[in-house]
Amino acid sequence: MKAIIFGAPGAGKGTYSTRLKTKLGVEVIAMGDIFRTQVKENSELGKKVQSYVEKGALVPDEIVVEVLKQHLAKVPNGSGVILDGFPRTLEQAKTLETILQLDIIILLDVPDWIIIERLSSRRICKNCSAVYNTRFLKPKIENICDKCHGELYQRPDDNPDVIQNRLKIYQDQTSPLLIYYKEKNVPIITSKTTDIDTPPEPLVEQMFEELKKLKIVN
């Protein structure tokens, strides 16, 4: 399976991608996580990315595409992949066509009010970037990652004013992409959330059933 997962900030892309990875045995390439790790490690790539972030500019396509190619090359033969955070623009979508043949788009449809509430309660591991939520995805030990025992933190951009701006940017960027893929006849499955306390597992099962109906997975 070659898939893109689309969803606004806080829609649960990391949460659902992780669970689909476990269930389907696919790889996940999350561009935001990759860049944040590189910035944290102060690598050459991290320095380049940070220089754009500090200006409030998007990382240039040539850098993003090169990083994507490097990580796709590491995906084992025969393994599926879910892309999270790429493409973000029509130009990136067109470039992706030359790299990867997509099977499916997974769209997370979540109301803004749920996203704002989720992001304000989101916590991320400083070490391995695992995602938790103080409402319904709590770690076993408060503020400690279950996987690597790293410290959990709240991202500084997880506040309502910044979130509203991020949601607008997402809508502006993603709507044209969805139209583009519909015109290309790439199948789209939509996972809709209406209750903030809905755990991810039932929705993952729904996604799995939809993928089976489309014969994308067995």
Catalytic positions are 13, 88, 122, 155, 166
Amino acid at 114: I
For the purposes of burial, counting CB atoms within 10 Å of the CB of 92, is it exposed (0-12), middle (13-18) or buried (19 or more)? middle
In angstroms, what CA-CA distances link 205 with 19, 186, 199, 208?
A: 10, 21, 11, 5
Tell me if 51 sits within 8 A of 59, measured CB to CB: no
Look up residue 190 and give its DSSP letter.
Answer: E
How far apart CA 173 and CA 160 sit, in angstroms, is 20
Nearest to 95 by CA among 122, 66, 123, 116: 66
Q: Which two three-digit tokens encode residue 60?
A: 């240039």
Alpha-carbon torsion, ordered 131, 136, 142, 143, to 10 deg = 20
In angstroms, what CA-CA distances link 15 with 26, 169, 210, 218?
A: 14, 21, 18, 22
In 10 A of CB 210, how many CB atoms? 17
